[in-house]
Amino acid sequence: MRNPSSFRDPDGYVVIENENVYRVVNFSYKQDYDHFINSGLYNELVDKKMIIPFNEEPDKPTNCYKYLKTNYLYPILYPYEWSFSQLKEAALLTLSIQKICLKYDMTLKDATPYNVQFINCKPIFIDLLSFEKIKDYQWRPLKQFYQMFFAPLIVFSKIDPLLLKLLIIDIDGISTSLINKLLSFKQKLNLNIFINLVLPNLISKKSKVSNKNLNLKKKNLENLISFLYSSTYKIKFNKNSEWKNYNEETYQEKSDYVNDKQNLINKFKKIINFTNEVWDIGANDGRFSRAFSKISKHVFSFDIDINCVDDNYNFNKVKNIYNVYPVLFDLSNPSPSIGLNNKERTTIEERLNSPTLICMFAVIHHLFNKNIPFNEILKFSTKTDKYLIIEYIPIEDPKCKLIFESRDEKFLKSYPDEKNFENIFKEKFNLIISGYLGKTKRKLYLYEKNKTTS
Which residues of the chain are modeled with pLDDT < 50? 209-210, 213, 243, 251
Q: Please give the pLDDT value at position 202.
A: 87
Domain check: are 322 and 440 in the same one? yes
Asked whether the CA dihedral 285, 286, 288, 290 is positive or negative, the reply is negative
Q: Please give the pLDDT value at position 208.
A: 53
Provide the whole-model pTM. Answer: 0.92
Containing H/E element for 30? helix 30-38
Check which CATH number belongs to the domain holding 47 and give it: 1.10.510
Q: In the listed set 238, 263, 279, which residue is the last one of a domain according to the structure?
A: 238
Q: 197-200, long-range: CB within 8 Å, 24+ apart, which pairs?
A: 197/146, 197/150, 197/151, 197/154, 200/143, 200/146, 200/176
Q: Give the domain extent around 104.
A: 1-238
Q: Please give the pLDDT value at position 321.
A: 97
Nearest to 131 by CA among 120, 117, 146, 141: 141
CA–CA separation, 130 and 417 (whole Å): 57
**Buried-state track 266-288, b at ≥16 Cβ within 10 A, e below 16:** eebbeebeebebbbbbbbbbbbb
256 within some domain: yes
Domain check: are 174 and 230 in the same one? yes
Domain check: are 306 and 163 in the same one? no
Domain check: are 341 and 378 in the same one? yes
102 within some domain: yes
Domain check: are 171 and 209 in the same one? yes
Q: What is the DSSP letter of 339?
A: S
114 within some domain: yes
Q: Kindly give the interhelix angle for 84-103 and 306-318, rounded to the nearest 10 degrees.
A: 60
Domain check: are 260 and 201 in the same one? no
Other C-beta atoms closer than 10 Å to the C-beta of 17 total: 10
390 within some domain: yes
Nearest to 429 by CA among 392, 393, 384: 384
Domain check: are 419 and 275 in the same one? yes
454 within some domain: no
Check which CATH number belongs to the domain holding 388 and give it: 3.40.50.150
Q: In the listed set 213, 238, 263, which residue is the last one of a domain according to the structure?
A: 238
Q: In the listed set 207, 238, 269, which residue is the last one of a domain according to the structure?
A: 238
Domain check: are 412 and 380 in the same one? yes
Q: Are 22 and 120 in contact (CB under 8 A)?
A: no
pLDDT digits (tens, 9 = 90+) for 95-107: 999 999 999 999 9
Domain check: are 156 and 209 in the same one? yes
Domain check: are 199 and 271 in the same one? no
Domain check: are 187 and 276 in the same one? no
Question: Is the bond preceding residue 79 a cis peptide, omega within 30 degrees?
Answer: no
444 within some domain: yes
Q: Please give the pLDDT value at position 128.
A: 94
386 within some domain: yes
Query: How many structural domains compose the chain?
Result: 2
Amino acid at 82: W
Q: Please give the pLDDT value at position 209.
A: 47
289 within some domain: yes
Domain check: are 220 and 250 in the same one? no
